[in-house]
Structure 1
Amino acid sequence: MASRPHSRRLRRTLLNALVIASVAVPTAGAARPAAVPAPAPPALGTLTQATATTLDARYAVNRDAVLAAARTADDYGDRKRAAALRAMAGRDRHLLSFDGRDGGRSVEVVGDLARADRTAVLVPGSDTALGSARFRAGAVALQRELGGRSAVLAWLGYRTPATASAAALTPGRAEEAAPELRELVRELKAVKPAARLTLLCHSYGSVVCAEAAPGLPADALVFYGSPGTGTDRAADLRTRAAVWAGRGGSDWIAHVPHLRVPLPFGELGFGTDPVDPEYGARVFDAGPGGHSDYLVPGSVPLANLARIVAGREPADA
Structure 2
Amino acid sequence: MRIRAGRLRRTLLATGVAAAVVLPLSAAARPEIPAPAPASLGHVTASTLTDAYAANRANAREAATMAERYGAGDRAAALRAMASPDRRFLAFDGRGAGRTAEVFGDLAAAESVAVLVPGSDTSLDSYGRLRSGALALRDELGPRAAVVAWLGYETPGTVSPAVLTTGRADQAAPALRSFVADLRGVNAHARVSLLCHSYGSVVCASAASGPRGLAVADIAFYGSPGTGVDKAADLNTPARIWAGRGADDWIADVPHTSADLFGTTVGFGTDPVSRGFGARLFAAGEGGHSDYLKPGSASLDNLARIVRGDEPEVTHA
Post-superposition offset of 1:18: 4.7
TM-align CA RMSD: 1.7
Counterpart selection for 1:224 from 222, 225, 232 = 222
Counterpart selection for 1:203 from 198, 206, 212 = 198
Q: How high is the TM-score relative to the length of structure 1?
A: 0.90
Question: 2:128 maps to what in 1?
Answer: 133
Cα-to-partner distance string for 1:250-296 (whole Å, 9 max, x where unaligned): 00000010111023432100000000000000000000100000000
Identify if the C-alpha distance between structure 1 residues 247 and 19 changes in structure 2 by more than 3 Å, giving closer, same or farther.
closer
Question: 1:11 maps to what in 2?
Answer: none
Q: Which amino acid aligns with 2:33?
A: V
Q: How high is the TM-score relative to the length of structure 2?
A: 0.90
* Contact residue 189 and residue 217 of structure 1 kept, 8 A: no
Question: 1:305 maps to what in 2?
Answer: 303
1:141-160 paired onto structure 2 within 5 Å = 141-160=136-155
1:57-68 paired onto structure 2 within 5 Å = 57-68=51-62
Counterpart selection for 2:287 from 281, 286, 289 = 289
Identify if the C-alpha distance between structure 1 residues 139 and 277 changes in structure 2 by more than 3 Å, giving closer, same or farther.
same
In structure 2, C-alpha distance between the alignment counterparts of 1:315 and 1:19, rounded to whole Å = 36
In structure 2, C-alpha distance between the alignment counterparts of 1:278 and 1:143, rounded to whole Å = 32
In structure 2, C-alpha distance between the alignment counterparts of 1:42 and 1:36, rounded to whole Å = 18
* Contact residue 109 and residue 187 of structure 2 kept, 8 A: no
* Contact residue 22 and residue 165 of structure 1 kept, 8 A: no
Gaps of 5+ in 2: 1-13
SS at match of 2:39: coil
Q: Which amino acid aligns with 2:71?
A: G
SS at match of 1:25: coil
Q: Which amino acid aligns with 2:37?
A: A
User: Taking every aligned residue pair, what percent have the same amino acid on both sides?
Assistant: 57
Pair 1:41-2:42 in alignment: no
Counterpart selection for 2:86 from 84, 88, 92 = 92
In structure 2, C-alpha distance between the alignment counterparts of 1:100 and 1:186, rounded to whole Å = 23
Counterpart selection for 1:103 from 97, 104, 118 = 97
In structure 1, C-alpha distance between the alignment counterparts of 2:49 and 2:16, rounded to whole Å = 48
Pair 1:188-2:183 in alignment: yes
Question: 2:20 maps to what in 1?
Answer: 20
SS at match of 1:102: coil
Kindly tell me the number of residue pairs found equivalent between the two proteins. Answer: 298
Question: 2:6 maps to what in 1?
Answer: none
In structure 1, C-alpha distance between the alignment counterparts of 2:16 and 2:96, rounded to whole Å = 30
Cα-to-partner distance string for 1:45-74 (whole Å, 9 max, x where unaligned): 233x124xx211110000000011011101
